[in-house]
């Protein structure tokens, strides 16, 4: 703790010194704080994710003396309630009402779509720290829209090869029937079928239904070689438990990391052996990750997770852009800001990554497995994977 | 789907239906006797689940946690009746709807302030944490069977209480003619408080015993509430027997809807309700 | 409902004039928040239309519907489904089409629900509302649970000449204000008509109305359909404003909010629920800005209103102003 | 026309008739095989002790309850099972035992609403009800007839009980009935109010076919031409006022007890 605070004091001092060197014409801009609008879920199902992202981002900024490009930062927090109906309104409120320089958000894909739409309309700078909806770095991609997390396709696609390599021929896929579910299953199915695998059945449940028993019975009757599932949050917790209780453990269960991340403790022994792919793993054995996790724990009092990483990297991306333009957020510096952010190489706890032309991370996808109640990393399932960015005109 | 799997699906449907009955019985009881429409019923379900989760951090046994959670729920229920709901008996249903709607918001926020937004799970007790193999690939979790047994036992128990005891007589009198309860010289205040607390306990018990097979998280009461409304409407408001059959009907409709017409699984439940109402506007057993 | 006290009419007219002038002075009053507030007010005025349409059912006809948002949402979804993906829809086509569909849907739901009464009606409408929610949530029409975007606002043209640009925030503001005033006047006219008198009487004593020779079922069904259709109009406008629809707009929480607006404003007064929409939304905005646990004060406010102010703000105003006008008459 | 026996009845003058009309609730038979004939422009009173089935009978006549068996004929046309609003439209108006006016409406509005029943339909949406001349005239006529013209713009709920009872009848009149079915119009009234009401009823008896359910014997004897005594759901005796007064059976079963109560 003391070590960290001393370090941040040193950094703050450095930032202060740097501020003294910038030309005077920025003097007015500097006195005004950079306004960063955090539009995230602070209530409801995704509240914990919103908090983690917020902490991660603030930690990244604090590590730079609480400044971006030499300017103090003011955060404007807005609870998006994970309500897509209010997405565009809330985004407009931050952009037009609170006049934020950067808009950061959010978790829920539907809300993020609304934000992306408003960002396209207004040209506001948007960083998406979680929502994986493909369109944000696909048809809706724009110079001012960035994503530091993943596209839904991205973590799922490599699992297709993993399944094939493990000798599976017939797989059942199951998810909720909504955009993220369709895209994630689509990613896996693409990876699996292009190698010759067969999807026996795709089961799509109404979102957010959590009574799986009927469908587990159905899976048992289909007797596939493996099951690929996409669920998150409470649905993930319950699905894995029910899957084990229904005696299906003889059929390997696969998914993206969301199937176990954050709910592993609740799943207990039921999660044993579950294979997942994701762009991060808590157990990632790198110095960067270990350092990050320790600092995050000290900073927020909670264990870091993938959301904290994504929040942290959003903060890093902000800092890189702002440093490049020395804190100038005026329209004249916009092109330079975007160029610097697009070219950023981010030294993330997940491993360094760059951004694709559609502004989505080009990143390693790890293969993980639950063993003895712990998520362990088996290796990299796909190195430097880029989202195909279907429909994006600038990619 | 061969006959074997068909039978297992029937079992799934009945098990889900029995659990629904336990939640819905409290809702229909409160209405039958008190004429109160309680939107916050789902919140008691959530309360039961969270209390169980919370108590399990201090005690080892699920059974003990549930046993401890029930009196707490009863007290919460009784206090809400005494402090808020009591004012509403002379008001119309609209005010009841609104007040209990306000209660939902408060419950949801209180849950968040007390237990945060994380999603939790509760372990199935070791003694019941095994499955009966049914086919080579499928086994049936014993805990689910245990839940069904508890629900069925409570249903039978409730039937006897209602048919054979004085308390049951009041319930029947209340369901058919609410003014009569007062005319029978019963301490209405106490009865209503007790009934509301009982309703809360039934919902909390459902949430508690379902905790090991569900995920405990924010907003978990809302989904349960709406489906219970459907059950109660189908069965006939105030009728325990109706709630029982309605719950089984919905359990089966939901289960088979998911397998046969997954695109309209939730919708099918409401379609069943619409058909019942078309034939019997006041439910099956009003 | 009889004529409003003169002084209250003047007050309400003054509020409307203020609202009409807001886009011109808002900039001066709230230099930083003006654009946002104008959007917010547009949204509130649309919700006020929704609240008034619900008041026709709840406050006037005595039909406590917990599924009213379904029609609001359906109106919006109709716009989303009828809009071409890459070009603007023609308002003269999509608006009537949307309203007809909503009218048919509300007539069907009404036909089934009106056979029940009291607590049954509440539960049945709630369940039908959820049925609508699941219809859009579970099926693939218009994006499922993700919702759907309306990329281009409908064009308002006559012979190729654009009359209104709905993409302009100020224009949309006036459309919202126009809808608010227009629907209010329409409903007042309706309530003064023979039909409106019968519906009002049904709200007080249905059996007596039957005894006088009117079939309450027919009148209630029509009132339900009219209320549903107006809610559909509000939903249609909201979809234009936000450029987005999703199943949550149909959910029972949304119906509950509309009911709170009606009660908060004073049911059966028409102008009251419109005020209720303003108070509710502004209170929510206030709570949100003060605490992240805003649901708590919100819930308490709702309970407080039910317990302490059962006649709502509108009832309070009526009492206040009719008292005064009586005194004026006496002098 | 003062004396009535079925033998000399002019069939064409029968406006309302019940045949074997029966209503039971569960095991309880409230009205048992009632055969009635109501003659045009005659004042007919039905008396009987509480629980005799009078109110149920009224509810059957006016379509508020469907009968368990038997028939109702209006001018020879079968109207059994017609809903209340249809019966009302045919010209059978009824008042209620409990005051049943719309308390939030003015006196005039109450009557105007009732008078709207004169329109072929009230499914009229945009022209204010106040602009339908014939409806307004009918409402004012009804107010005058029931003696409430001076109370025209009072809120009904703020009027005295007696006035509300008068309004109750005014509303029935405004619907334009041929037959008035009045369920205990004098119930709960003070002496002065009663006298006024009896005067009104006498006046109405000259203009309409009147079917009166009432406990107040003095009032009944002064208004009605024909009396029916109902006990336990069945007709005990029916005839002219004089005949009923003289009937031994009626005195034993009913009038004797009733007289003591006064």
Task: Judge: B97–C123 Cβ closer than 8 Å, yes or no.
Answer: no
Report residue D211 as tokens: 């079917």
B275: part of which helix (H) or strand (E)?
helix B265-279
| Mean local confidence (pLDDT), A324-344 | 92
Residue A24 has pLDDT above 80, yes or no: no
Query: What residue ranges do the domains of chain D occupy?
Result: 11-91+178-262, 99-176
pLDDT above 60 (res B52): yes
Is C182 a domain residue? yes
Q: Which of A47, A220, A242 sits opposite B213 (nearest CB)?
A: A242
C-chain CB neighbours of D115 within 8 Å are none
Structurally, chain B folds into a number of domains equal to 1
Contact C139 B263 (CB under 8 A): yes
In terms of pTM, does the model score above 0.90? no
Kindly give the confidence (pLDDT) of every residue in chain C, 331 residues in length, as a single tens digit, with 9 standing for 90 and above: 456 888 888 999 999 999 999 988 888 888 777 877 888 899 999 999 999 999 999 999 999 999 999 999 999 999 999 988 767 788 899 999 999 999 999 999 999 889 888 878 888 898 889 889 888 887 777 777 778 888 778 888 888 788 888 878 889 999 999 999 999 999 999 999 999 999 999 999 998 999 999 999 999 999 999 999 999 999 999 999 888 888 888 988 899 999 999 988 988 899 999 999 999 999 988 888 787 788 899 999 999 988 888 888 888 888 888 764 443 333 2
Beta strands at A354-355 and A361-371: parallel, antiparallel or unpaired:
antiparallel
Containing structural domain, residue B213: 3-279
Strands (E), chain B: 131-133, 139-141
B275 inside 8 A of chain C by CB: no
Separation between Cα atoms, residue A321 and residue A125, nearest integer Å = 11
Q: Tell me whether residues A247 and B258 touch, CB distance under 8 A.
A: no
Angle formed by the axes of helices B142-164 and B188-210, to 10°?
Answer: 170
pLDDT at D114 over 80: yes
DSSP run (H or E) holding B154: helix B142-164
Q: Say whether D141 sits in a helix, a strand or coil.
A: helix
Q: Which of C131, C138, C293 sits opposite B263 (nearest CB)?
A: C138
- Are C194 and D119 within 8 A, CB to CB? yes
User: Residue A151: which of A192, A101, A116 has the closest Cα?
Assistant: A116
CB C223 within 8 A of CB C57: yes
The torsion region of residue A93 among left (phi > 0), alpha (psi -120 to 50) and beta comes to alpha
Which tens digit of pLDDT belongs to each residue from A169-215? 999 999 988 888 889 999 999 999 999 999 999 998 877 778 888 88
| Residue B58's CATH number | 1.10.3470
From chain A, the residues in CB contact with B141 under 8 A are: 242, 245-246
Region B162-173: mean pLDDT is: 79
Q: Is residue B195 part of a domain?
A: yes
Q: Token digits for A216?
A: 């587990």
**Count of structural domains, chain C:** 1
Share of chain B above pLDDT 90, in %: 35
pLDDT at A395: 59
Smallest Cβ–Cβ distance between C303 and the set B102, B109, B283 belongs to B102
| DSSP string for C194-258 | HHHHHHHHHHH-HHHHHHTT--HHHHHHHHHHHHHHHHHHHHHHHHHHHSEE-GGGGSHHHHHHH
In a domain, B286, yes or no: no
What's the burial of C20, exposed, middle or buried (CB within 10 Å: 0-12/13-18/19+)? middle
Within an 8 Å CB–CB cutoff, is residue B135 touching chain A? yes
**Residue B18 above 60 pLDDT?**
yes
Q: Which of A253, B184, B226, A380 is nearest to C255 (CA)?
A: B226
Q: What is the CATH number of the domain that holds C184?
A: 1.10.3470
Assess contact for D22 and D69: CB atoms under 8 A.
Answer: yes
State the ipTM, two decimals.
Answer: 0.77
pLDDT at position A114 is 85
Yes or no: say if A131 and A108 are a contact pair by the CB < 8 Å rule: yes
What percent of chain B has a predicted confidence (pLDDT) above 70? 95
- Which one of C145, C288, C292 has the shortest CB-CB distance to A178? C145
| Per-residue confidence band for A29, with pLDDT thresholds at 50, 70 and 90 | very low
Which residues of A have a CB under 8 Å from any CB of C? 42-43, 77-79, 83-85, 87-89, 92-93, 96-99, 109-110, 113-114, 117, 133, 176-179, 206-208
Q: 3-class SS at A37?
A: strand
* D11-91+178-262 to CATH, choices 3.40.50.1100, 2.40.240.10, 3.10.20.90, 3.40.50.300: 3.40.50.300
Nearest CA in chain B to A203: B262
Q: What pLDDT was estimated at residue A15?
A: 40
Q: Give residue C216's domain range.
A: 6-330
User: What residue of C is the nearest CA neighbor of B88?
Assistant: C307
Q: Where are the alpha helices (DSSP H) in chain A?
A: 2-21, 27-31, 47-62, 87-92, 109-122, 153-165, 179-193, 213-222, 233-245, 264-267, 287-300, 306-324, 334-342
Domains belonging to chain A, first-starting first, are: 2-150+284-362 (3.40.50.2300), 153-278 (3.40.50.2300)
Q: What is the pLDDT of residues B131-161, one digit of tens each?
A: 888 877 778 889 989 999 999 999 999 888 8
Q: In a 10 Å sphere around its CB, with 0-12 CB exposed, 13-18 middle and 19+ buried, how is residue C21 labelled? A: exposed
What is the tens place of the pLDDT at every residue in B86-131? 888 778 888 888 899 999 999 998 998 888 777 787 888 888 888 8
Q: Does B267 touch chain C (CB under 8 A)?
A: yes
Q: Does B35 touch chain C (CB under 8 A)?
A: yes
CA torsion C165-C20-C40-C92 (nearest 10°) is: -30
CA dist., res. D214 & res. D43, Å (int): 12
3-state secondary structure of A370: strand
Give the residue-averaged pLDDT of A35-44: 89
Question: Which of chain A's residues have a Cβ under 8 Å away from the Cβ of B124?
Answer: 245
Which of A4-8, A78-82, B27-31 shows the lowest mean pLDDT across its residues?
A: A4-8
Contact: B259, A218; criterion CB under 8 Å: yes
C-alpha C123/C-alpha B226 separation (Å) is 9
Q: Cβ contact (<8 Å) for C119 and B93? A: yes
pLDDT at A23: 40
Query: Is it the case that residue A27 has pLDDT exceeding 60?
Result: no
Q: Nearest 5°: phi and psi at A368?
A: -130, 160
Average pLDDT, chain D: 85
């Amino acid at each position: 703790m003391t070590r960290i605070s001393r370090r941040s004091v040193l950094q703050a001092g450095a930032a202060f010194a740097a501020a003294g060197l910038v030309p005077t014409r920025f003097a007015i801009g500097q006195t005004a704080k950079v306004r960063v609008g955090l539009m995230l879920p602070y209530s409801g199902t995704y509240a914990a994710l919103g908090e983690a992202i917020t902490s991660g981002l603030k930690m990244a900024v604090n590590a730079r003396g609480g400044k971006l490009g030499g300017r103090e930062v003011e955060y404007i927090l807005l609870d998006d309630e994970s309500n897509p109906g209010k997405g565009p309104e809330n985004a407009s409120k931050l952009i037009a009402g609170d006049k934020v320089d950067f808009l950061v958000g959010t978790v829920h894909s539907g809300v993020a779509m609304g934000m992306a739409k408003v960002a396209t309309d207004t040209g506001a700078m948007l960083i998406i720290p979680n929502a994986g909806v493909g369109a944000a770095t696909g048809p809706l991609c724009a110079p001012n829209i960035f994503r530091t997390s993943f596209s839904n396709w991205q973590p799922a696609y490599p699992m297709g090869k993993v399944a094939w390599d493990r000798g599976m021929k017939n797989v059942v896929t199951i998810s909720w029937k909504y955009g993220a579910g369709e895209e994630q299953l689509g990613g896996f199915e693409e990876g699996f079928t292009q190698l010759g695998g067969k999807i026996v059945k795709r089961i799509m449940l109404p979102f957010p239904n959590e009574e799986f028993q009927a469908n587990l019975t159905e899976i048992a009757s289909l007797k596939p070689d493996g099951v690929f599932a996409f669920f998150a949050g409470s649905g993930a917790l319950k699905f894995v438990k029910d899957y084990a209780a229904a005696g299906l453990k003889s059929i390997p269960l696969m998914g993206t990391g969301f199937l176990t991340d954050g709910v592993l403790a609740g799943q207990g022994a039921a999660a044993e052996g579950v294979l997942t792919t994701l762009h991060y793993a808590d157990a990632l054995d790198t110095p960067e990750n270990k350092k990050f996790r320790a600092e995050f724990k000290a900073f927020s009092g909670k264990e870091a997770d993938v959301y904290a990483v994504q929040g942290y990297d959003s903060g890093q991306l902000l800092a890189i852009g702002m440093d490049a333009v020395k804190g100038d957020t005026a329209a004249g510096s916009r092109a330079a800001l975007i160029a610097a952010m697009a070219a950023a190489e981010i030294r993330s706890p997940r491993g360094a990554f760059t951004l694709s032309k559609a502004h989505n991370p080009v990143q390693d996808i790890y293969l993980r497995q639950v063993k003895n109640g712990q998520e362990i990393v088996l290796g990299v399932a796909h190195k430097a994977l880029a989202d195909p960015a279907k429909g994006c005109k600038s990619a | 789907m061969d006959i074997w799997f068909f039978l297992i699906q029937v079992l799934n449907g009945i098990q889900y239906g029995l659990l629904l009955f336990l939640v819905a019985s409290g809702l229909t009881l409160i209405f039958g006797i008190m004429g109160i429409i309680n939107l916050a019923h789902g919140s008691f379900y959530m309360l039961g689940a969270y209390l169980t989760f919370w108590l399990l951090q201090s005690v080892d046994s699920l059974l003990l946690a549930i046993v401890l959670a029930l009196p707490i729920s009863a007290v919460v229920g009784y206090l809400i009746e005494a402090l808020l709901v009591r004012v509403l008996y002379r008001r119309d249903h609209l005010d009841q709807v609104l007040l209990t709607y306000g209660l939902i918001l408060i419950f949801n926020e209180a849950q968040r302030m007390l237990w945060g937004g994380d999603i939790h799970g509760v372990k199935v007790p070791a003694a019941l944490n095994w499955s009966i193999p049914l086919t080579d690939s499928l086994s049936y979790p014993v805990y689910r069977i245990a839940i069904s047994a508890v629900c069925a036992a409570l249903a039978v128990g409730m039937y006897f209480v209602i048919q054979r005891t004085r308390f049951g007589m009041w319930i029947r009198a209340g369901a058919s003619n609410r003014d009569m309860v007062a005319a029978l010289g019963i301490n209405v205040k106490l009865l209503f408080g007790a009934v509301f607390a009982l309703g809360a306990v039934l919902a909390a018990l459902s949430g508690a015993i379902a905790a090991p097979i569900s995920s405990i998280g924010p907003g978990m009461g809302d989904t349960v509430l709406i489906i219970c409304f459907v059950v109660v409407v189908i069965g006939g408001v105030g009728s325990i027997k109706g709630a029982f059959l309605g719950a089984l009907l919905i359990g089966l409709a939901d289960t088979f809807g998911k397998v046969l017409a997954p695109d309209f699984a939730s919708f099918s439940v409401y379609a069943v309700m619409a058909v019942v109402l078309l034939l019997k506007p006041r439910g099956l057993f009003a | 409902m009889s004529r409003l006290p003169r002084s209250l009419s003047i007050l309400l007219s003054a509020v409307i004039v203020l609202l009409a002038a807001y886009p011109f002075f808002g900039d001066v009053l709230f230099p930083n928040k003006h654009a946002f507030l104008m959007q917010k007010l547009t949204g509130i005025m649309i919700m006020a239309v929704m609240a008034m349409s619900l008041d026709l059912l709840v406050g006037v006809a005595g039909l406590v519907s917990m599924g009213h948002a379904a029609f609001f949402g359906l109106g919006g979804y109709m716009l989303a489904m009828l809009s071409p993906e890459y070009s603007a829809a023609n308002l003269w086509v999509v608006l009537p089409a949307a309203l007809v569909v909503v009218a048919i849907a509300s007539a069907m739901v009404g036909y089934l629900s009106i056979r029940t009464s009291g607590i049954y009606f509440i539960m049945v409408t709630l369940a039908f509302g959820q049925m609508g929610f699941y219809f859009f949530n579970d099926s693939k029409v218009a994006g499922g649970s993700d919702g759907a975007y309306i990329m281009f606002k409908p064009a308002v043209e006559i012979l190729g000449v654009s009359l209104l640009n709905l993409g302009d925030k100020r224009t949309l503001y006036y459309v919202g204000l126009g809808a608010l005033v227009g629907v209010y006047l329409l409903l007042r006219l309706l309530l003064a008509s023979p039909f409106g008198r019968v519906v009002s009487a049904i709200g007080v004593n249905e059996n007596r109305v039957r005894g006088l020779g009117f079939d309450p079922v027919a009148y209630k069904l029509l009132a339900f359909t009219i209320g549903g259709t107006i809610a559909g109009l509000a939903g249609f406008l909201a979809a234009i404003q936000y450029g987005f629809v999703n199943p949550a707009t149909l959910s029972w929480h949304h119906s509950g909010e509309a009911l709170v607006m009606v009660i908060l404003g004073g049911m059966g007064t028409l102008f009251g629920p419109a005020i209720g929409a303003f108070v509710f939304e502004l209170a929510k905005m206030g709570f949100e800005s003060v605490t992240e646990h805003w649901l708590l004060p919100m819930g308490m406010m709702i309970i407080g209103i039910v317990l302490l102010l059962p006649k709502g703000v509108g009832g309070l105003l009526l009492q206040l102003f009719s008292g005064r006008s009586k005194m004026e008459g006496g002098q | 026309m003062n004396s009535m026996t079925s033998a000399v009845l002019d069939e064409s003058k029968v406006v309302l008739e019940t045949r074997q009309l029966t209503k039971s609730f569960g095991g309880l038979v409230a009205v048992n095989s009632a055969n009635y004939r109501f003659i045009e422009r005659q004042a007919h009173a039905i008396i009987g002790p509480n629980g005799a089935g009078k109110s149920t009978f009224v509810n059957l006549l006016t379509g508020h309850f469907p009968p368990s068996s038997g028939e109702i004929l209006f001018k020879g046309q079968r109207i059994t099972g017609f809903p209340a609003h249809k019966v009302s439209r045919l010209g059978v108006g009824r008042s209620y035992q409990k005051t049943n006016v719309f308390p939030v409406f003015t006196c005039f509005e109450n009557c105007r609403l009732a008078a709207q029943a004169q329109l072929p339909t009230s499914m009229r949406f945009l022209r204010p009800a106040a602009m339908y001349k014939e409806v307004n005239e009918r409402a004012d006529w009804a107010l005058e007839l029931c003696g409430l013209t001076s109370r025209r713009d009072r809120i009904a709920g703020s009027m005295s009980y007696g006035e509300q009872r008068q309004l109750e009848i005014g509303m029935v009149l405004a619907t334009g009935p041929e037959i008035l079915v009045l369920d205990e119009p004098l119930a709960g009234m003070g002496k002065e109010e009663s006298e006024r009401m009896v005067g009104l009823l006498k006046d109405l008896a000259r203009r309409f076919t009147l079917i009166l359910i009432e406990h107040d014997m003095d009032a009944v004897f002064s208004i009605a031409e024909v009396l029916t005594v109902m006990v336990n759901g069945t007709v005990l005796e029916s005839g002219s006022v004089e005949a009923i007064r003289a009937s031994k059976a009626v005195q034993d079963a009913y009038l004797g007890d009733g007289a003591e109560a006064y």
